[in-house]
Amino acid sequence: MFEHLYETLYEYKEYVVFAGLVVLSLIFIALNDSVQVKRIRSVSAVAFGLVQQGANIIPEYLGLHAENEILRRTNIDLADEAQRLREAKLENFRLHELLKIKEQSVYPLIAAKVVSKNLTLFRNTLTLNVGSDDGIKEQMCVIGDGGLIGIVTITGTHYCIANLLLNTDFRVSCKVQRSRVDGITSWDGSALLLKNVVKTRDVKPGDIVMTSGYSNLYPPDIRVGIVSSVQDQPSALFKTIVLEPGIDFVKLEEVFVLQFVQNNERRTLEDAAVQRFGK
């Protein structure tokens, strides 16, 4: 064993001698109190301190990075929570307005959420998350806090589709609330119009237009919109009356389906009258 140790030391004797001299030099420096040695000690201490300070920057940087990541995630969570609170506040306001409708309605209402919109300018529709299992039937009208929205045209088990006021296939008999003038409201692809009102009738901008009740599909006095403009064409028999809908269809999220169904006796009589008149 000693022979192996001797051979190893002999093989690396230069390094051993150098290490021994370095150790002796450090011992002599430590024991020497001369001015030069003290100065070397001071410089060495300062250099060691700078190196140590530089080395401490690395863990401090890593610690700050981890802390910043925690703060970033906390800010994201807080922002997400604030967004949910704002959304809940807005939803609460909308539901509060809808609750007023439910309290004032003389007909049963079925609450529904809008799950899809098709706003293609000509045949605008909504898809609602209620269907036949919820009591929905075709030709039930859909209303919101601003009044009439449309009418159910297709019913599934759990969903239904409603044509909006802004649909070229939609028609509803209406009246001007102030003057009781009758007309037909329809969408021509660019504007909501109150049609079949002759020039002599009293209709002014700002008048509220409501369902007349003459239709067997819609109960009376549901708000449809407000008259935004009235024009008289020189060669036309009827006024051109443009309505502003009471509903913002872009922002629409919650609605009611009105459980108002056709009166079979009335429909039968009216159909019979049409057939007899046709003959």
Q: Does 245 reside within a domain?
A: yes
DSSP H or E stretch at residue 27: helix 13-31
CATH code at position 249: 2.40.10.340
Compute the mean pLDDT over every residue in the chain, rounded to the nearest whole number: 79
pLDDT at 135: 93
Q: At which residue do the structure tokens 């190196």 appear?
A: 51
Tens of pLDDT, residue by residue over 224-264, are 999 999 998 888 899 999 999 989 998 888 899 998 876 66
Q: Is the pTM of this model over 0.75?
A: no
The residues facing 110 across adjacent strands are: 257
Tell me how far the alpha carbon of residue 147 is from its chain's centroid. 22
Q: What values do phi and psi take at 172, rounded to 5?
A: -150, 135
Q: What is the dihedral of CA 107, 113, 116, 117, to 10 degrees?
A: 50
Q: How many domains does the chain have?
A: 1
Q: Does 8 reside within a domain?
A: no
Residue 89: pLDDT over 60: no
**209 CB-near residues (< 8 Å, 6+ apart):** 174, 175, 176, 177, 183, 185, 194, 223, 224, 225, 226, 227, 243
Spatial separation of the C-alpha atoms in residues 262 and 69, rounded to whole Å: 63
Tens of pLDDT, residue by residue over 154-206, are 999 999 999 999 999 999 999 999 999 999 999 998 899 999 999 999 999 99
In contact, 227 and 209? CB cutoff 8 Å: yes
Q: Does 53 reside within a domain?
A: no
Q: Which two tokens stand for residue 242?
A: 């443009």
pLDDT classification of 12: cutoffs 50, 70, 90? low
pLDDT at 241: 96
pLDDT at 98: 58
Residue 129: pLDDT over 90: yes
**Top mean-pLDDT range of 3-7, 114-118, 265-269:** 114-118
Q: Does 21 reside within a domain?
A: no
Domain coverage including residue 257? 109-262
109 or 276, higher pLDDT: 109
Q: Does 192 reside within a domain?
A: yes
